[in-house]
Amino acid sequence: MALRFAGKHAAVVGATGVIGSHIAAAFARHGASVTLLGRSALTQRARLEAQLSAAAPKDLTTSSSSSSPRTHHFIKLDVSDAASIKAVFAGRAEQSAAAATTTAAAAVVGPVDVLVNCAGISQTTVLKRTPDEELARIMDTNLLATMLVCKHARMQPHGCIVNVSSLMATHGGFGASAYAASKAGLIDLKPELQQAFLKDTPLGRVADPDEVADAAVFLASNQFANNCILNLDGGLSAA
């Protein structure tokens, strides 16, 4: 069976989270060499490597370079640090001596065929009770960081960018106005409306991480799927 992303390089920002790690594994399953970026990418490397290993195609041969075993990379990246984003993606980084002694992984992300942005932090209280610093951190992490990564990433010709947003971007939520605004920026500040999410969702459950990962693979592999928003909401937007 042909591997959809054999010989391709996929970079996943926020790869240490549940959704991000499943997305990274999905691209590895389809033959891509994956760079996993996140604040704890190095400390969680063993767990992430196990996921990638379990996802590796079982029918690989060494008859061609496109089907030979891939090398995956792990890079520590704090997306709240604009300078770090520029250094890692624009190729101007000088790896610190401390980092060099802890990992042999690449310090800079090379040309990318598929870029996935899924890093994010949530809001834990209502807007009135959220400190200004926390609001700024949410916006910087969920919106500005994605913009900076897209700006500085060196994309291959015909490369693809997949930005993982949230239902909060269009539906808002009680105690989540800043989070909703940051995610809407990836696709308008909605009123803080309390929702019984599962009750209002026709499917009656949240998405499985693999369902999100499969959608990312679809968007990256379908060349006609350009500038589109794919709602994975269990029917909530149609209810």
pLDDT of 95 strictly over 90: no
Residue 58 burial (10 A CB sphere; 0-12, 13-18, 19+): exposed
How does pLDDT run across 163-218, given as a tens digit for each residue?
987 554 344 444 444 444 444 444 433 333 334 456 667 777 777 888 889 989 99
76-98 in b/e form (b: 16+ CB < 10 A) is bbbbbeeebbbbbbeeebeeeee
Backbone φ, ψ for residue 85 (5° rounding) = -60, -45
Measured CA to CA, the distance from residue 53 to residue 209 in angstroms comes to 18
Other Cβ atoms within 10 Å of 205 Cβ, number: 8
Q: CB under 8 Å to 24, separation ≥6 — which residues?
A: 10, 12, 15, 34, 36, 48, 51, 52, 72
Q: What class does CATH assign to 9-238?
A: alpha beta
The mean pLDDT of the chain is: 76
Element (H, E) at 27: helix 18-29
Domain boundaries, the chain: 9-238
Q: Which residues contact 102 (CB under 8 A, 6 or more apart)?
A: 42
pLDDT tens digits for range 102-155: 343 346 898 999 999 998 766 556 667 777 787 777 787 778 899 999 999 999
SS3 per residue for 112-132: EEEEEECCCCCCCCCHHHCCH
